[in-house]
Amino acid sequence: MTSPFPRLPTALLVSLLFTPPLPAQTLTKTEQAVRGWITAHREEQIALLQRMVDVPSGTLNVAGVRAVGALYRAELDALGFKTRWVELPAEMHRGGHLVAERRGPRKPAGGKRLLLLGHFDTVFEGAGQKFVRIDSVARGAGGSDMKGGDVVLLYALKALAASGQLDRMEVRVVITGDEEATGRPLEVTRRPLIDAARQSDVALSFEGGARDNASISRRGASGWLLKVAARQAHSAGIFGAGGGYGAVYELARILNAFRETLAGQPGLTFNPGIIAGGAELSVDTSGYSYSVSGKTNIIAPAAIARGDLRFLTEGQKDSARAVMRGIVAKSLPGANAEISFEDSYPAMPVTPAGRTLLAQLDSVSRALGYPAVQALDATRRGAGDLSFVAPYIPGIDGLGALGQGAHSPQESVHLPSLAMQTQRAALLMLRLAGIRK
């Protein structure tokens, strides 16, 4: 969901991406053929990315998510996948998910069953967000996060099909339509992911990538809602026995205590994204838009804050929540506060199986002549769908396109990265499937 690499000058990024790979080493004839097919179809891949980006598909744009999903579904149908569109309840205002499956008749003994993950929805859409290509860079909503990753996934499969190797693999694909703002309840919206994981051995996720790292751990994410009620009175009486401290001071006390008590723990962050307070306070049906009114000579009787909590492990999450509840309970005179939490993405910790998977990707990258691949610090990447399947099978993320400005109107994708990432993904799939010839 967020960019896993620092912002660099565009000229430097283009220079790096145009640097040709070193001569390939230890590639089989099949792997060389797959690599060559991907290189030859570079412009075709970019053209499909443009078609996808030019379909606005913000998370709440139900028609847009379905439209880009239909475009992608046709591509998988042409590869012989059995596809279906998973509808979500209308009250969720979400477009749904694409689920696809292909079981080859000649699966090698010991080959892994693959689960490939992506998402169609974007954070931004609208005027100025369509695909615009300038030399080796293209701008547009979802170019890197993650329609770019979706076309990496697809063209890896196309290359495997062209070489005749897809018939030897068992592959499932789940492309969600609400990754950027998951529908609730999660047990409904993430059921297709979990069902697919239970039928697979390893998961590959195509969120934005980098030349030299990938993710085998991801932080979990949850939300919190803090509500404060206090006595309304004339401001002249604030801090006194009759007026008390008011809702705004109590809210400020709590937030500052969170910072003083919890800040600095490795991997733990907590951000108050919305704050409102005053004499009258109301919220719309989304829960994220507030209206307030009041006067400077009134002690505010109501205040509210919404935020997120990110963590490396479920234990770290539970410990932080306990501390936050304890802080909330120590109210200032004349005020009363309560906090509630909502689970979103579970944490995905590092595992031995994850390290093995990273080593396999590193081996593929080196064999292709690209840089070595190391594990990305989990604090440098946001939460993602891979976390929902992590309790069932090992997985790796960051296999998608390179870009900048994710979650902003300046989002861009670096087009030369598509071939590198597609080659890496295709060869990793071959080796995981037990195909070495």
Question: What are the residues facing 275 on neighbouring strands?
Answer: 305
Examine the pLDDT at 180 and tell me if it is beyond 70: yes
Task: Give DSSP secondary structure letters for 364-384.
Answer: HHHHTTPPP-EEPPGGGS---
The predicted structure's pLDDT at residue 353 = 97
Examine the pLDDT at 244 and tell me if it is beyond 50: yes
Examine the pLDDT at 15 and tell me if it is beyond 60: no
User: Which range among 19-28, 97-106, 198-207 shows the weakest confidence by mean pLDDT?
Assistant: 19-28
pLDDT in tens, 346-364: 999 999 999 999 999 999 9
Examine the pLDDT at 167 and tell me if it is beyond 80: yes
Q: Residue 139 corresponds to which tokens in the numbers above? A: 């701008």
The predicted structure's pLDDT at residue 1 = 53
> By C-alpha distance, which of 101, 118, 1 is closest to 49?
118
The predicted structure's pLDDT at residue 10 = 46
Examine the pLDDT at 24 and tell me if it is beyond 60: no
Q: How confident is the model at residue 9 (pLDDT cuts 50, 70, 90)?
A: very low
Q: Contact at 8 Å (CB) between 433 and 107?
A: yes
10-218+348-432 folds as Aminopeptidase (3.40.630)
User: What residue has token string 């539970």?
Assistant: 318
Q: The pTM is what?
A: 0.86
| The one-letter amino acid at 271 | N
CA distance 341 to 324: 10
Which overall architecture, per CATH, does domain 220-345 show?
Answer: 2-Layer Sandwich (3.30)
Examine the pLDDT at 343 and tell me if it is beyond 70: yes
Q: SS3 for 274?
A: strand
The predicted structure's pLDDT at residue 105 = 78
The predicted structure's pLDDT at residue 5 = 39
User: Which range among 17-31, 148-162, 173-187, 310-324 shows the weakest confidence by mean pLDDT?
Assistant: 17-31
Q: Contact at 8 Å (CB) between 148 and 403?
A: yes
Length of the chain: 437
The predicted structure's pLDDT at residue 25 = 59
Q: At what angle do helices 417-432 and 42-53 cross, to 10 degrees?
A: 100
For the chain, the C-alpha Rg in angstroms (whole number) is 24
Examine the pLDDT at 14 and tell me if it is beyond 80: no
The predicted structure's pLDDT at residue 8 = 45
The predicted structure's pLDDT at residue 19 = 46
pLDDT in tens, 402-426: 999 998 999 999 999 999 999 999 9
Distances (CA, A) of 400 to 120, 211, 348, 418: 13, 11, 19, 8
Q: How confident is the model at residue 171 (pLDDT cuts 50, 70, 90)?
A: very high
Q: Contact at 8 Å (CB) between 121 and 98?
A: no
The residues spanned by each domain of the chain are 10-218+348-432, 220-345
CA distance 214 to 193: 21
CA distance 385 to 207: 9
The predicted structure's pLDDT at residue 6 = 42
Examine the pLDDT at 185 and tell me if it is beyond 50: yes
**Which ranges constitute the DSSP H helices of 163-225?**
186-189, 191-197
Question: What are the residues facing 225 on neighbouring strands?
Answer: 306, 340
| The one-letter amino acid at 54 | D
| The one-letter amino acid at 339 | I
The predicted structure's pLDDT at residue 2 = 45
H or E segment at 351? none
DSSP E strands in 196-334: the ranges are: 202-205, 213-214, 220-230, 269-278, 280-283, 290-293, 302-311
Q: How confident is the model at residue 110 (pLDDT cuts 50, 70, 90)?
A: confident
The predicted structure's pLDDT at residue 397 = 97
Task: Give DSSP secondary structure letters for 48-94.
Answer: HHHHHHTS--BTT-HHHHHHHHHHHHHHHHHTT-EEEEE---GGG--
71, exposed or middle or buried, with CB in 10 Å at 0-12, 13-18, 19+? middle
The predicted structure's pLDDT at residue 399 = 98
Residues 224-246, mean pLDDT to the nearest whole number:
96
Q: Please state, rounded to an integer, the average pLDDT across all residues of the chain.
A: 93
Q: SS3 for 296?
A: coil
